[in-house]
Structure 1
Amino acid sequence: MPRRRSYDQYCAAARALDAVGDRWTLLIVRELLAGPRRYTDLHADLPGVSTDMLASRLKDMERDGLVARRRLPPPVSAYVYELTDRGAGLLPVLRALAAWGAPALEAPRPTDAVRAHWFALPLLDVLEASATAPGVVEVRLDEGVFHARVGGGAVEYADGPADGAPDLCLRMDAATCLAVARGSLPVGEGVAAGRIEVVGEVGDAFAAVVPGTMRA
């Protein structure tokens, strides 16, 4: 396949933008950081992207070694897209972009789509700082559920509930989740104020976040 237009600059930032600077590319990475996705799932969670544009971006990302296409084993007859190690290495980039963009998030505009797992990126720093050991946090919003693994130097997130009992399960609304992500509302204060509900018991890794609710 012919390569896309390049900045033709011998600069690491320019080379990076050659690969991920096109519209939709980093948002596709955001979706795939939450786990492998079928084409139809990607299209559903990227409102506004045309089918032709999504197909084109995925081909570019395959060519550049950011994603791979894999066929699911029987009885499922479907293909999924998943990040390669190089693609997954963009997580710190997305985290930095989310931290930079969070102050611009006010009330959702009437035209804004909302997905629960989109809140994972800006929330990761707070969750990571709260963990005293590796653990799993599940967050339940009106818009859906996501979970994250933090602590011990490894950070990842995924759409949907955690497998098994999480070390910390929080239920809140989107506005509260954003306040926690920005650092303006510590989790403990949110719980005390009734804005955050702790579901179940809290594991040792997050005992300092909500004291008095540790597992036996």
Structure 2
Amino acid sequence: MPRRSYDQYCAVARALDAVGDRWTLLIVRELLGGSRRYTDLHADLPGVSTDMLASRLKDMERDDLVLRRRLAPPGAAFVYELTPRGHALLPALGALADWGAPALGERRPTDAVRAHWFAVPLLARLAHHFTDGTGGTNAGRVVGVVGIALDEGEFHVTLGADGPAYGDGPAERPDVRLRMDTATCADVAYDRLSLAEGIASGRIAVTLPEGMADGQVTA
């Protein structure tokens, strides 16, 4: 299928040529957490048809947003992952999440939800809370990996010199683990509740490794 274009000499139009189609940015959201198999992508994009997902992935390969590679044995499955150009869309997705937050409201009965869908808007909130610009927390202890546990699943956020990133599933050795319900996670993610307020009110339960005091994450 030939590439569709707005045929406008404008950076916004050029960007939308590549990512303006339905489902494209949500595929990017999924792959920001790491490489995924086709079946995993389809499972976490409820509502997308198999034909549409396959078509979008081909378009994204063509536009250097994703690449497809085969895992080494014994897995030998194909996975999709973002290219550096695809990863560069993270700030755009964060801005879109902030812009769309006022329209979110209460969860509707028909709304699907996955835990890691909160990861992108949470990145900036967690980075602000845990780092002071030099890699340490505001209480002086380095927090590099934050685990987030919801009833719907777990994901983790990595805070490093290259900027925050997230991964799907639990972290092997998180520096701190936060457990909360979906409503609380949404409030923190969309800046309606600070992390410190959530911890102080008991809406967020904190699990710390040995030798780390509560005050080091509540300040």
Please give the TM-score of this superposition, normalised by the length of structure 1: 0.90
- 1:155 equivalent to 2:164? Answer yes
Verify the 8 A CA contact 1:147 1:161 in the aligned structure 2.
yes
1:209 shift after superposition: 3.3
Partner of 1:102: 101
- 1:33 equivalent to 2:32? Answer yes
Report the AA paired with residue 138 of structure 1: G
Report the AA paired with residue 90 of structure 1: L
Q: CA, structure 1 residues 38+65, in 2 after alignment: closer, same or farther (shift >3 Å)?
A: same
In the alignment, the residues of structure 2 paired with residue 176 and residue 199 of structure 1 have an alpha-carbon distance, to the nearest angstrom, of: 17
Larger deviation, residues 22-31 vs 106-115: 106-115
Structure 1 segment 127-138 matched on structure 2, within 5 A: 127-132=126-131, 133=135, 135-138=144-147
1:207 shift after superposition: 6.0
1:74 shift after superposition: 0.5
In the alignment, the residues of structure 1 paired with residue 113 and residue 204 of structure 2 have an alpha-carbon distance, to the nearest angstrom, of: 20
Report the AA paired with residue 13 of structure 1: V
Q: Deviations over 1:143-177 (max 9, x none)?
A: 1001011243411111101122x122100001101
In the alignment, the residues of structure 2 paired with residue 207 and residue 153 of structure 1 have an alpha-carbon distance, to the nearest angstrom, of: 27
Q: Between Structure 1 and Structure 2, how many residues are aligned?
A: 208
Partner of 2:188: 180
- Structure 2: give runs of 5+ residues left out of the alignment: 136-142
Q: CA, structure 1 residues 103+208, in 2 after alignment: closer, same or farther (shift >3 Å)?
A: farther
Q: What secondary structure is seen at the aligned counterpart in 2 of 1:194?
A: coil
In the alignment, the residues of structure 1 paired with residue 215 and residue 35 of structure 2 have an alpha-carbon distance, to the nearest angstrom, of: 32
1:184 shift after superposition: 2.6
Verify the 8 A CA contact 1:33 1:91 in the aligned structure 2.
yes
Q: What secondary structure is seen at the aligned counterpart in 2 of 1:140?
A: strand
Report the AA paired with residue 139 of structure 1: I
- Runs of 4+ residues deviating >3 angstroms: 201-204, 206-209
Q: 2:154 aligns with which of 136, 141, 145?
A: 145
CA RMSD of aligned residues (A): 1.8
Verify the 8 A CA contact 1:170 1:199 in the aligned structure 2.
yes
Verify the 8 A CA contact 1:137 1:149 in the aligned structure 2.
yes
Partner of 1:214: none
Structure 1 segment 61-72 matched on structure 2, within 5 A: 61-72=60-71
Q: What secondary structure is seen at the aligned counterpart in 2 of 1:80?
A: strand
In the alignment, the residues of structure 1 paired with residue 99 and residue 167 of structure 2 have an alpha-carbon distance, to the nearest angstrom, of: 21
1:4 shift after superposition: 2.3
In the alignment, the residues of structure 2 paired with residue 33 and residue 203 of structure 1 have an alpha-carbon distance, to the nearest angstrom, of: 32
Partner of 1:196: 204
In the alignment, the residues of structure 2 paired with residue 117 and residue 91 of structure 1 have an alpha-carbon distance, to the nearest angstrom, of: 14
In the alignment, the residues of structure 1 paired with residue 210 and residue 188 of structure 2 have an alpha-carbon distance, to the nearest angstrom, of: 18
Question: Aligned residues: percent identity?
Answer: 67
In the alignment, the residues of structure 2 paired with residue 23 and residue 14 of structure 1 have an alpha-carbon distance, to the nearest angstrom, of: 15
Partner of 2:19: 20
In the alignment, the residues of structure 2 paired with residue 27 and residue 183 of structure 1 have an alpha-carbon distance, to the nearest angstrom, of: 21
In the alignment, the residues of structure 2 paired with residue 169 and residue 130 of structure 1 have an alpha-carbon distance, to the nearest angstrom, of: 14
- Structure 1: give runs of 5+ residues left out of the alignment: 212-216
In the alignment, the residues of structure 1 paired with residue 215 and residue 69 of structure 2 have an alpha-carbon distance, to the nearest angstrom, of: 40
Q: CA, structure 1 residues 210+63, in 2 after alignment: closer, same or farther (shift >3 Å)?
A: same
1:65 shift after superposition: 0.6
Verify the 8 A CA contact 1:130 1:208 in the aligned structure 2.
no
